[in-house]
Chain A
Amino acid sequence: MIERSPLFNAISYAMMVIGFLIVVTPFWVVLVAASQSLSEIARVPMSLWPSAHLWENIEAAWNRADLGPKLLNSLIVALGVTFGKITIAALSAFSIVFFNYRARMVCFWMIFVTLMLPLEVRIVPTYSIAANALSPFQTLLDTLGLTGLISALTGVEVSLNWNLLNSYTGLILPLVATATGTFLYRQFFMTVPDELVEASKMDGSGPMRFFFDVLIPLSRTNMLALATIMFVSSWNQYLWPLLVTTDRENYGTVVMQLKALIPAQNGTPDWNVTMAGALIIMLPPLVIVALAQRWFVRGLISRDK
């Protein structure tokens, strides 16, 4: 509904301004706090105007939380998860949309149902699998009695073990499954005309050739949109990295390091350094969103011709 009247316009603008303020005020407070000195930030009420100490605070935060290597870790994990999610989403949607097999809808609904099982709900079993990724197979062998059989026959005790704790694999792999991505890709693939599929069949390309030569280039905007969401959400992961890494020194991510930046109970209340750290940590996703937002919007609301 499009309605144009001065009153209506005024209301619309007011709503937008309120929304803008709600979104931007916290950022502003972080930025202001990050630029103040310890004495300035301790003052009550706090000044809402930036001061001149931004760089020294950033430097302090950078050193205190060891942000250099941690940023690299975060980047590796976020990129790994994003890449993995897109690959899996595209391939699973490809299978669901373009192939005709009996269990197709069952598979689709199984994937869809996982939307209702976020990581937080299944964190204990996920952790136990991360601790030994082969444990399901071990259990299978044990319950079938094969372990006993093999050890009786060959004298070898079967004990499968693949530990994912404290590794990039462990940080990335459990996060790569994505129902949202599969669904998004499915919706896009369903808009691809059948004739295109048939034309490529006549041109002699097999399914994977079609996937790489036609579907992937056509879904570029979707892919960017998905990548943006996925990058931001995996950058913001807190619970899983916290669980799966005990070796924080080497495998910690920046979001976990936020905690290290919070002043200790009886320590100096240098919130200015904490805020400077927060500023650094939220910068990469901000940059990604800023760069990708044009495609992001296009990829989610429509497709280009």
Chain B
Amino acid sequence: MAAITLKSVKKNYGKTPVIHGVNVEIEAGEFIVILGPSGCGKSTLLRMIAGLEEVTAGEIHIGDRLVNQVEPRDRGCAMVFQNYALYPHMTVAQNIGYSLKVAGVPRAQRDERVRAVAKSVGLEDYLDRRPGQLSGGQRQRVAMARAMVREPKVFLFDEPFSNLDAKLRVAMRAEVRRLHRDLGVTSVFVTHDQTEAMTLADRLIIMNAGRVEQIGKPSEVYNRPASRFVADFIGSPAMNLIEGMFDEQGHFVYGRGGRLAAEPLNGQRRPGRKLVLGVRPEAVRRTNEQKPGAIPALVEYIEELGAARLIHADASGTRIVAVETENVDIPSGAPVHLEFNDDALHVFSAEDGRRIDAHA
């Protein structure tokens, strides 16, 4: 039984469509992260699940109930907002307990639950403070406690950590992960930060311009990106994308006449069809001698990262980035040969950007 089911969910603002039919099934207890660049509709999708935005077309089910017309409070969702959205005039305890107060839970019981929840996020010493007297991280904890106290069926997070500094973000990430493990509540988390997404998610939903590009486990999304967009969006440094086409001999021809021996041809990879070859910088090796499968390139510059360095090279007019783990000093303009791991090559259609598999 899926905890949340979206069936061709669409959203228009006026006449402008912003979500073009999303189909997703979210299993009970799953941690789902919706990832995408800003303006891709990921927050809108989350807000539609919460009931804060109306659904233009399609169906949203929570559990086995169709909730399109159900008020937010009756959907059994709790939400953590980007800017915390705490009530500034209430104390931490009042903020956390407000939903219980609205629901008419008796005072004694309310206090007990507020205390228990505050303890689980480490806020028991701050119950009498006001949000204005707390740091950003503490405020976000209050917001999380406020969501937890209702014992919801679904947690919704709308970019909750984007106002926190990098260190705190890592700590809060671990905290969210721990809470999810302890409570086991289905969670949907929206972010534009791919590290956050990769570390938190059981499954990722990658969105672009109102469409779902790929749904899958973080490793799947990384290792088998379903489209050029996903390939480019996931991973840092970004995947090398080389535009070109195969010739009759099975060489991939790119840039100003560069040639690369690649995977076997098939129907989809017919000669003359415009394709995009993708290879992650980690899968590019530098070799010194010329050998089949390696391509010549000129080093443009080296980006020092400390543990590794990125070689930015120009191969027949195409920029290729390679990760170099060896501590070497290569001057710019030096010729190198770059070799790709065969099984790390991804092929995408140049027209619609979809993935083309060798055995499809």
Contacts and interface: CB of A to CB of B under 8 A. Distances in A.
A199 B72 contact: no
Given A202-B79, A205-B102, A214 B87 contact: yes
A204 B99 contact: yes
Given A195-B83, A209-B102, A305-B132, A202 B89 contact: no
Contacts of A202: 50, 52, 72-73, 77-79, 99
A203 to B, nearest CB: 4
By Cβ-Cβ distance, the 8 closest A-B pairs, closest first, are A204-B73, A195-B85, A199-B85, A203-B99, A217-B89, A204-B102, A205-B102, A195-B81
A218 B52 contact: no
A305 B84 CA distance: 14
B103 A199 contact: no
Nearest to B156: A202
A196 B85 contact: yes
Nearest to B78: A202
B157 interface: no
B88 A203 contact: no
Interface of A: 193, 195-196, 198-205, 209, 213-214, 217-218, 305
A201 B52 contact: yes
Contact of A198 (B81, B89, B99): B81
B102 A198 contact: no
Given A193-B85, A198-B52, A204-B73, 20 more contacts: A193-B83, A195-B85, A196-B85, A198-B50, A198-B81, A199-B87, A201-B71, A201-B72, A201-B73, A202-B72, A202-B79, A203-B98, A203-B102, A204-B102, A205-B102, A209-B102, A213-B98, A217-B89, A218-B88, A305-B88
A213 B95 CA distance: 11
A199 B146 CA distance: 10
A193 B78 CA distance: 18
A132 B337 CA distance: 98
Contacts of A198: 50, 52, 72, 79, 81, 85
Contacts of B77: 202
A273 to B, nearest CB: 49
Contacts of A203: 73, 98-99, 102, 146, 150
Nearest to B143: A199
For the side of the interface on B, what is the size category? 20 to 34
A113 to B, nearest CB: 29
B223 interface: no
Interface in B95-148: 98-99, 102-103, 132, 146
Contacts of B50: 198, 202
Contacts of A199: 79, 81, 85-87, 146
Contacts of A201: 51-52, 71-73
Nearest to A203: B99
Interface in B50-87: 50-52, 71-73, 77-79, 81-87
Contacts of A196: 85, 87
A214 B131 CA distance: 14
19 contacts: A193-B83, A196-B87, A198-B52, A198-B72, A198-B81, A200-B87, A201-B73, A202-B50, A202-B52, A202-B73, A202-B77, A202-B79, A203-B146, A203-B150, A205-B73, A205-B98, A205-B102, A214-B87, A305-B88
Interface in B257-313: none
Contacts of A217: 89
Contacts of A195: 81-85
Contacts of B73: 201-205
A119 to B, nearest CB: 36
B70 to A, nearest CB: 12
Contacts of B85: 193, 195-196, 198-199
A99 B89 CA distance: 23
A218 B89 contact: yes
Nearest to B82: A195
Contacts of A193: 83, 85
Nearest to B103: A204
Contacts of B89: 214, 217-218
- Tell me which of A196, A201, A204 has the highest count of chain B C-beta atoms within 10 A of its own C-beta: A204
B153 to A, nearest CB: 13
B104 to A, nearest CB: 10
A198 B87 CA distance: 11
B223 to A, nearest CB: 37
Interface string B144-179: 001000100000000000000000000000000000
Nearest to B53: A198
A198 B73 CA distance: 10
A59 to B, nearest CB: 47
A302 to B, nearest CB: 14
A217 B51 CA distance: 26
A118 B60 CA distance: 53
A202 B84 CA distance: 13
Nearest to A204: B73
A201 B146 CA distance: 13
A199 B98 CA distance: 10
Contacts of B84: 195
A199 to B, nearest CB: 4
B110 to A, nearest CB: 13
A199 B89 CA distance: 14
A209 B73 CA distance: 13
A213 B77 CA distance: 21
Contacts of A200: 87, 98
Contacts of B103: 204
A173 to B, nearest CB: 32
